Amino acid sequence: MTDSQGPRANHDDDRVVTQLSIRHNASRAAIAAAVALAGLGTVRTVLLRSRSDAPDPVRGSFRARALRHVSALTVRRLAELTPVSPNTLPFARVVIDRTMRSLAPVLRDTTIEPIVDGAVRGEWVHGPKASRTDAIILYVHGGGFIAGSVLSYRGVTSRLSTATRLPVFAVDYRLAPEHPFPAAPHDVARAYRWLRARYPAKHIVVAGDSAGGYLAADLAITNARNRSAAPAALLLFSPMTDLSLEIAASHEAADQDGIISVPVATAAIAHFTTDRLELRPAPGTSLPPTLIHTSDSELFAADAIALAERLRAAGAVCELEVWPDQMHVFHALPALVPEARTAYRAAARFVSDILDATTRTERLS
């Protein structure tokens, strides 16, 4: 089956409980994971045609491939030569923030409302087309637990808000090494409870990328374990799954990412925790439907695949999209990578399908 418009749930086949989407030229590991997932039960595998500007239709766009190669020779090598330490982090954070703001500038006519309510800190982001008021998105930014901010991610959150037409609350969680584990997950959980006082759980989508993807998924898994109300859905961009990095390091894409490498990720995570933490959802718990985006050429490709497999094994509905030739969290590169815009539209369709189904159910009850 092919669909140039992206993945859609098959509402006519109740047997389909998981949809695994592999964008063209998925790596051997990704394809092997698809086969493994198919062996777990009823899974629909969807092959999507690329709408990129690549001359070869099974590859990512020329711009995405060129950017990844140039970045691997410059940004990645520079990062590997720079120690990740309390002395270098202040400067690194400034560089990362300014770079992200230039590569993903906030959309014009976006409104920002800073929030400080006790221990809850963050900001409401309303993109120029955020017309819905019945639901919201809680966004947890990435940055390896040591960098990133709600300010640097305004380009991401404004685009996600516009694509989904929903307000986004970006949580300003505490960073390591000043605030190591468990400060960040506590802040994310506190923000979720704060939102729960204002919206029903089934009207809250939890999203995040990279380290933020780990924290977002950890929130949902912890809530399920504690039998707390599950959010409407999980939306994860290039999430980490195993903080020991054993899964990531074993994948053939570990050396292909244009931004991040195993040594840099290891050094960053060490400031957050020395425990071998990983996401392991418990079978039979109430887990939200999940969409995961990753690339076949990024460091955490295997993490995303492993998380999808674990969620499926635990009984969750999970869609996995593997995009070809992209860098880690390519959604943060809309000024350079055409696939970023397509990815936001795919995420919006997923969110809309989930929330519309919730609305129909509520009207019938």
Q: Which residues, 6+ apart, have CB-to-CB distance to 36 below 8 Å?
A: 309
Catalytic residue among 203, 293, 328, 331: 328
Structure tokens at 96: 């990362």
Name the nearest CA neighbour of 167 among 204, 130, 141: 130
Q: How far apart are CA 22 and CA 6, in angstroms?
A: 10
Q: Which residue in the list 210, 238, 261, 297 is annotated as catalytic?
A: 210
CB of 354 closer than 8 Å to CB of 347: no
Q: How far apart are CA 291 and CA 209, in angstroms?
A: 12
In residues, how long is the chain?
365
Is-catalytic flag, 328?
A: yes
How many CB atoms neighbour CB 83 within 10 A?
Answer: 10
Nearest to 142 by CA among 111, 184, 107, 105: 184
Nearest to 351 by CA among 239, 238, 236, 235: 235
Is residue 297 part of the annotated active site? The answer reads no
CA atoms within 13 A on the CB side of 34: 20
What distances in angstroms separate CA 4 from CA 7, 180, 247, 318, 356, one per listed residue?
A: 9, 43, 31, 20, 22
Is residue 71 annotated as part of the catalytic site, yes or no? no
CB 212 within 8 Å of CB 142:
yes
Q: How many CB atoms lie within 10 A of CB 112?
A: 15
**Catalytic choice (278, 298, 309, 339):** 298
Q: What are the residue numbers of the active site? A: 210, 298, 328
